[in-house]
Amino acid sequence: MAFNANEFNSAEALGQDRKHVWHHLSQHKPYENSDPLMIVKGEGMRVWDAKGKEYLDAVSGAVWTVNVGYGRTEIADAVRDQLVTMNYFAQTAGNIPAAQFAERLIEKMPGMSRVYYSNSGSEANEKAFKIVRQIAEKKYGGKKHKILFRERDYHGTTITALSATGQFERKAQYGPFTPGFVEVPHCCEYRAQDGADLDNYGVWAADEIEKVILAEGADTVGALCLEPITAGGGVIEPPQGYWDRVQEICKKYDILLHIDEVVCGLGRTGKWFGYQHYGIKPDMVTMAKGVASGYAAISCTVTTEEVFEAFKEDDDARLGYFRDISTFGGCTAGPAAALVNLEIIERENLLENVTQQGEYLRGRLNQLMEKYDIIGDVRGKGLFAGFELVKDRTTKEPVDEGVSVAIAGHCMKNGVIIGRTNRSFKEYNNTICLSPALIATQADIDTIVDALDAAMAEVCPNS
């Protein structure tokens, strides 16, 4: 598809951006002498910048979001039509697309029952944390209020969501944090902790959670918040036995299990939700990003009926209900877009495509690993993959972050946008991350891996 940059006044827009826009996750000093990247058009798997350069997007909008690809006019049309009919009313009242999407969503989540709307993953997780805290107050006199989170997991950018995040550099300079959040050890088998049982690592890693619960006091712990597959922390799939044991522990100590599906949800791993690969029965599930593929802002905090019923008790009519509101949770654009997004995934059999293309992607990455000793580990599920870069496969010493920066930069220069762990840890910013749209073809996968091959041949030729 040809793209004419002259359709836009790109020079004017770039000047306005450089003068007034504060970009996410960006050091702006380099922009004093050069233009920031400005993406102005998208179609399918491709995007174009303000200067007309074309890229294959291997990270779904840079943050695992545009699941069904760019240029979906039927989603845009549905949003437009809905906004003309009724754009907004606070969620103290209902609206038709919110009711319809809630029903369709719950159909995909056996055991779950209720949907609370907000507008970002961070906010969805905040709602879950508030639910835990209010249940602790109502049922346990405030004692069972602590929330456990896992080292290397990420749960959002607000102060409280960061309080539940196991990534040092993302949290640096933003403390003090909300009290009552306690970290449990990671479950990355490739980076197994000293003294771990490597023959049964999944169970061992889960048992480490139980040790934290007992140290804190089980009667003080209200919830355990985990990603089904760690995303920005290095694309870490929990090992066999982990999730079964985690659920046993939560049931044993009456701890709510909160699964953060902000990245994995809505098809990324080949099932509707990542947790569905492992037989998990959560109490709460949070989601955002792929819910509407970025065509409108929406997030959901989904709970069981049992959790919902806890807020119908008549212990205090004034304070007993869930006293929370999200302003833009009442915007109808989100559920209107989400409905069509879900329909596209079904109609185009994208879950099957994710499984097929994900297997092909893993195969190609394993071939790349055979070629370059700098790749220490390949992991992931579906169209959600990553590989660690190491100085030595025996010692597993991670490369400096500059190596992954150089590889990503080389791919960008050659028209492929890839992801990487970015200033998250003291030493493990060494994972290349891939999350192409669910519509990716074998040819798209080949383009992505070929670009990585070329980048690594130049950046680390002796590996």
Q: Find out whether 123 and 130 touch, Cβ atoms under 8 Å.
A: no
pLDDT tens per residue, range 5-31: 556 678 888 888 888 988 887 888 777
Q: Are residues 206 and 331 in the same domain?
A: yes
Q: Are residues 50 and 86 in the same domain?
A: no
Q: Find out whether 274 and 264 touch, Cβ atoms under 8 Å.
A: yes
* Amino acid identity for residue 422 in this structure: N
DSSP characters over 30-96: GGGTSPPP-EEEEEBTEEEETT--EEEESSIIIII--TT-B--HHHHHHHHHHHHH--B--TTS--H
Q: Are residues 271 and 166 in the same domain?
A: yes
**Count of domains in the chain?**
2
Q: Are residues 32 and 90 in the same domain?
A: no
Provide mean pLDDT across the span 211-234: 97
Q: Are residues 43 and 57 in the same domain?
A: yes
Boundary-marking domain end, from 347, 381, 416: 347
pLDDT of residue 3: 56
d(CA 360, CA 11): 41
pLDDT of residue 314: 64
Residue of 15 and 151 predicted with greater confidence: 151
Q: Are residues 242 and 108 in the same domain?
A: yes
Q: Are residues 228 and 124 in the same domain?
A: yes
d(CA 77, CA 83): 10
Q: Are residues 211 and 290 in the same domain?
A: yes
pLDDT of residue 315: 60
Nearest Cα neighbor of 66 from 437, 337, 347 is 437
Helix (H, G, I), strand (E, B) or coil at 175: coil
Boundary-marking domain end, from 312, 347, 382: 347
d(CA 121, CA 85): 27
Q: Are residues 143 and 154 in the same domain?
A: yes
CATH number of the domain enclosing 443: 3.90.1150.10
pLDDT higher than threshold 80 for residue 318: no
The partner residues of 285 in beta bridges, in order of sequence, read: 259, 302
d(CA 387, CA 389): 7
Boundary-marking domain end, from 296, 322, 347: 347
Q: Are residues 212 and 319 in the same domain?
A: yes
Q: Are residues 287 and 358 in the same domain?
A: no
Residue ranges making up the domain that contains 104: 74-347
Write the CB contacts of 116 (distance below 8 Å, at least 6 apart in sequence).
127, 300, 301, 302, 303, 322, 324, 329
Provide mean pLDDT across the span 272-297: 98
Instruction: Tell me the pTM.
Output: 0.96
Q: Are residues 88 and 21 in the same domain?
A: no
The partner residues of 287 in beta bridges, in order of sequence, read: 300
Helix (H, G, I), strand (E, B) or coil at 195: coil
